[in-house]
Chains A and B, each alone.
Chain A
């Protein structure tokens, strides 16, 4: 009932507005579907949409928030049956099925505008399929090694930069009765993060991309080298035991209690670690070390995005909304520490002075010459991602089964890419 009255009022407002249209304002109805169902992101998004509404008083905006996990299956239905004007999703290969099925609107025209052209360069590649852009990013975040600085100090260790230093550090940590890294692989993707880094550092970004695109055999010697490096850590006892039973959240206490000293994770791990009582003096961050000297460093930085479904009714307003989202002011606000606590995609906006965001921003803008990957399960096709991450988990539990795992992945490659 409430929304009915709101609608009528808005319709009335729209009628009166018709007589005197204001410049650069959009009107009509705009329906937005969000997957930001966690409390903080949800509030951020709703506040941002409210600001957009204030700028466009003639627009009747309707927001639907869907549970983040449920969204992943529902998007298939609503894009075809009951399309909103704007919907959230993810970059790179994750949007490919919808681009291929013609369900996302080509927004290359937006990307030809000066702001997108100049200030959003860093994410352009992730939004491009077949030479066209299919959406607009609104946030991204760095991955890297979060570690317990106090334990490093206690053992007399310093931040490593090379593979040898990393392993030497780890040996000392294991000798002190701790595990080097905590990880929970129950939901598989965390193992994908390790594979991303080990493979990008061993063989480089381009090789990694080719592997994700099915152009390289899984039984290639270079792939085996990646796993050989991984095995060195596993054999050392670097990872916590029973990681296959834990989710990534359940693996956090090991780090909080000091049973493990580091966590290869996305920046979203910082908030729960702080909530668990770790101070910024205890917690620090370093970029994943160099493995093969000379290979340009590339980073994982998953990007979350907005798209316009092809079946949207008010595409003009939707485009205006995307411009608004990507604008430097909004990017600064929604990504600050009080809101999403992540990195803005617009290079004209300011990064929050949170220690980890600052470090991440410097790392991604200055120390990532190789390129920026989205994450294994967004770069590889969904099916390959699933099979391979299962293989990574099996390898981490039973390192000796490597040949079996790789031949399984190679068979899957033959089937999946055609």
Chain B
């Protein structure tokens, strides 16, 4: 026993021992970094590379330079599929954000202690739990032009029938409305947890100073909910950009392609039954990536600023 401790004491400290503090975090991070590099970073660069080729996924890939992007540009000029997809993406981005105020409103409504409040909360949270595919199906039936509930309802007022999913101008809004249902629930949960952390003393102080209603909300509660708002913003933007399942279930991009967004168009071009233009799909993915990058950079920057502030 004593002999062994003597040996350790006498020997010089190993390199690992000396640098333990610095190495340990990297060791713990290593598995995560490895997977992130292999499954996220590398495919990003692969996509960039692939977008310069013409490839059907089977034969030889042919290098064609920027021709895929040129085709995208002409689709834009001709107001073709790419233009429609990009336009719809913008509509999604803007309207999907409605989930944030709606979520906040419901959270404020539910943030009270009455009998059975847990049940109400679960009911409001329910749409987020069920699969997007189910949400899509439910709304497809809801919108159905012959027997759908929507047309039955507006029929009472002598209106309609309107075919929401069959109308090129309405279809995107119809799908966004379906998407808002689960997304609002998600934002609501974020705000409910946020509201738990609101400092009652500040509320008390505000009340003493005569703040109530909207003023209380705007000047006392909302500033304290900033972290929740930030996260809600992030998940909603990302949700809007990757809106895919609802479109796939409800319309398959139709009628005549008017409800496509970039993510769906990419899938259609590269992977669907009539697709397999891998290079072109990759080019669309690159465009989508660049749009997302704007938001990602903004998010990272504001997080970094936040951390520095503390």
Say which one of A96-104, A125-133, A287-295 lies at the interface with B.
A96-104
One of B166, B256, B275, B277 near A390 (C-beta < 8 A): B256
Would you call B71 an interface residue if the criterion is a C-beta within 8 Å of the partner chain's C-beta atoms? yes
Say which one of A167-175, A210-218, A336-344, A391-399 lies at the interface with B.
A391-399
Q: Is the pair B255, A394 in contact by a Cβ cutoff of 8 Å? A: yes
Q: Is the pair B59, A101 in contact by a Cβ cutoff of 8 Å? A: yes
Residues of A within 8 A of B277 (CB): 383
Q: How far apart sit A69 and B271, CA to CA, in the bound complex (Å)?
A: 12
One of B56, B254, B274, B276 near A244 (C-beta < 8 A): B254
Known: A101-B58, A394-B256. A245 touches B144 (CB 8 A): yes
Q: How far is the CB of B165 from chain A (nearest CB, A)?
A: 5
Residue of B nearest to A380 (CB): B274
Q: Is the pair A411, B254 in contact by a Cβ cutoff of 8 Å? A: no
Q: Is the pair B58, A97 in contact by a Cβ cutoff of 8 Å? A: yes
Would you call A76 an interface residue if the criterion is a C-beta within 8 Å of the partner chain's C-beta atoms? yes
Residues of B within 8 A of A390 (CB): 254, 256-257
- CB interface residues, A 381-416, toward B, < 8 Å: 382-383, 385-386, 390-391, 393-394, 397, 408, 411, 415
Residues of B within 8 A of A244 (CB): 163, 166, 254-256
Number of A-B contacts (CB under 8 A): 70
Q: Is the pair A245, B256 in contact by a Cβ cutoff of 8 Å? A: no
- CB interface residues, B 264-282, toward A, < 8 Å: 268, 271, 273-277
Q: Is the pair B254, A186 in contact by a Cβ cutoff of 8 Å? A: yes
Residues of B within 8 A of A73 (CB): 271, 273
Known: A377-B274, A382-B276, A391-B256. A103 touches B58 (CB 8 A): yes
Would you call A6 an interface residue if the criterion is a C-beta within 8 Å of the partner chain's C-beta atoms? no
Would you call A187 an interface residue if the criterion is a C-beta within 8 Å of the partner chain's C-beta atoms? yes
Known: A383-B277, A390-B256, A390-B257. A241 touches B58 (CB 8 A): no
- CB interface residues, B 245-292, toward A, < 8 Å: 251-252, 254-257, 268, 271, 273-277
Q: Is the pair A76, B57 in contact by a Cβ cutoff of 8 Å? A: yes
Residue of B nearest to A412 (CB): B80
Q: How far is the CB of A287 from chain B (nearest CB, A)?
A: 29
Q: Is the pair A385, B274 in contact by a Cβ cutoff of 8 Å? A: yes
Would you call B146 an interface residue if the criterion is a C-beta within 8 Å of the partner chain's C-beta atoms? yes
Residues of B within 8 A of A415 (CB): 71
Q: How far apart sit A51 and B277, CA to CA, in the bound complex (Å)?
A: 41
Q: Interface of chain A, helix or strand or loop or mixed? A: helix
Residues of B within 8 A of A245 (CB): 144-145, 163, 165-166, 255
Contact with B along A175-194 (1 / 0, CB 8 A): 00000000001111000000
Residues of A within 8 A of B257 (CB): 390
Residue of B nearest to A392 (CB): B256
One of B80, B165, B273, B276 near A97 (C-beta < 8 A): B276
Q: How far apart sit A185 and B257, CA to CA, in the bound complex (Å)?
A: 12
Q: How far apart sit A361 and B277, CA to CA, in the bound complex (Å)?
A: 39
Residues of A within 8 A of B (CB): 69, 72-73, 76, 80, 97-98, 100-101, 103, 185-188, 241-242, 244-245, 377, 382-383, 385-386, 390-391, 393-394, 397, 408, 411, 415
Residues of B within 8 A of A (CB): 56-59, 71, 78, 80, 144-146, 163, 165-166, 168, 251-252, 254-257, 268, 271, 273-277
Beyond the given A382-B275, A411-B78, please list 14 additional residue pairs across the A-B interface where CB-CB is below 8 A. A76-B57, A98-B58, A101-B58, A185-B255, A186-B252, A242-B166, A244-B255, A245-B163, A382-B273, A382-B276, A383-B274, A385-B274, A390-B256, A397-B255
Interface CB pairs A-B, < 8 A, 13? A76-B58, A103-B58, A241-B145, A242-B146, A382-B274, A382-B275, A383-B274, A386-B274, A390-B254, A391-B256, A394-B255, A394-B256, A408-B78
* Complex A-B, nearest 10 residue pairs according to Cβ-Cβ distance, in ascending order: A386-B274, A394-B256, A101-B58, A244-B255, A245-B166, A382-B274, A242-B145, A244-B166, A242-B163, A101-B59
